[in-house]
A = this chain, B = another copy of it.
Amino acid sequence: MTNAIDIGADVLAAAGRARAAAAVLAVATRETKDAALYAMAGAIEANSAGILAANAEDVAAAASGSGESMLDRLRLTESRVAGMADGLRSVARLADPVGTLVRGSTLANGLELRQLRVPFGVVGVIYEGRPNVTADVAGLCLKSGNAALLRGSSSAAASNAAIVESLRAAVAGCGLPPDAVTLVPGAGREPTKHLMRARGLVDVLIPRGGAELIQTVVAESTVPVIETGVGNCHVYVDAGADPGMALAIVVNSKVSRPSVCNAAETLLVHRVIAPDFLPAALIALDEHGVTVHADERVRAYRPDLVTPATEADWATEYLSLDIAIKMVDSLEEAVEHIRRFGSGHTEAIVTDSQHAARRFTASVDAATIMVNASTRFTDGREFGFGAEIGISTQKLHARGPLGLPELTTSKYVVIGDGHVRV
């Protein structure tokens, strides 16, 4: 228990240091913050060799027990390090959300009311795998005036430490507090638990990773959480779809990057379009190496290319070259299926019917509804936000790709001239 208390005290002390740094960052000018971001980029490049050496340690330690895809996410290369630096510079070029006017008015009694964007304070981020997230998150938090309290994967501990050391030195060199970028100290799960309970010291917690991580944080955290990332995304091919367009969108949604949250997992096909669409779709998916899990009506088209689907398939986020396919008798049935199984991330309809598009976008409850476009477009960079810290699938605060404005809260400033309330 002594050990647990020590770990708790260490985590709270780190959060307290981040909090003190946040008070300084909150009033830093864009000029100062951008200078720090360019310095951070320069430091990452200058310390590239050291970062790669630390990463080599992590990769060597993980090599025996990990699959190649995990090692690939963990591994840094010269070009990935350069990518981190470029990312920091591109964040410097983005507009500063802090101080933006959200709304303003002069009230009937002459009070001047302004609602301004202000930083949260301390943003905690719990993430897995890729060490470049460390630099991305630190940069986005600093630009939005927040201190970043980072909890990366233990498998990337040496890489993250090397990256953070470079970033902190650069921040300090620009006259900002180095605790603007703070790693949660300690190994194992205990420090993460203390981070999740640091209500009052940490203003918001963002988990980035698999469904299990996110569910744990949502269930255990007393710090307010922005839930990200689980995407059981559907493409609905309506009766009024162009079969060629539908095929291109389905293939792109599924195969262009199957491991990410905006990849499609289930295809819903209106029975009227099925004869014109399904045979070619099943062949194309097969040619791309996709395993199809489908209901009997779909399977009837090409039993040789289709595995029978079970109830579990509708609820599964495969994140792999698998897709579930179901035939539906109506747009309403598609909407109902999505209501039951969707995760509120991205839902697409392919149709040439204005009426169908309008009903689908109004009825489906998700962060993003795509009409005649691939689910893969749900992305901060694609949306023109310049960068993203994750994709929110919750309704509170932010929904969809989280850009810089979503890393802020607001403050009302009300100016009077001795006004009292009657």
Interface residues, chain A, with chain B CB atoms under 8 Å away? 23, 26-27, 105, 107-108, 111, 113, 115, 118, 120-121, 199, 203-204, 218-219, 222, 224, 226, 242, 245, 248-249, 251-252, 256, 339, 357, 361-363, 365-374, 376-378, 382-384, 394-397, 399-400, 409-421
Contact = CB atoms under 8 A, between A and B. Distances in A.
A409 B395 contact: yes
B396 A224 contact: yes
Nearest to A420: B252
Contacts of A383: 107, 113, 412
A421 B376 contact: yes
21 contacts: A26-B362, A105-B384, A107-B383, A107-B384, A111-B377, A113-B384, A218-B222, A224-B394, A224-B396, A251-B420, A361-B413, A368-B411, A368-B413, A371-B413, A371-B414, A374-B419, A376-B420, A377-B419, A399-B410, A399-B411, A400-B412
B382 A418 contact: no
Given A411-B367, A421-B376, A395 B361 contact: no
B368 A418 contact: no
A196 B44 CA distance: 45
A366 B414 contact: no
Contacts of A242: 418
Nearest to A422: B256
A108 B386 CA distance: 13
A256 B367 CA distance: 44
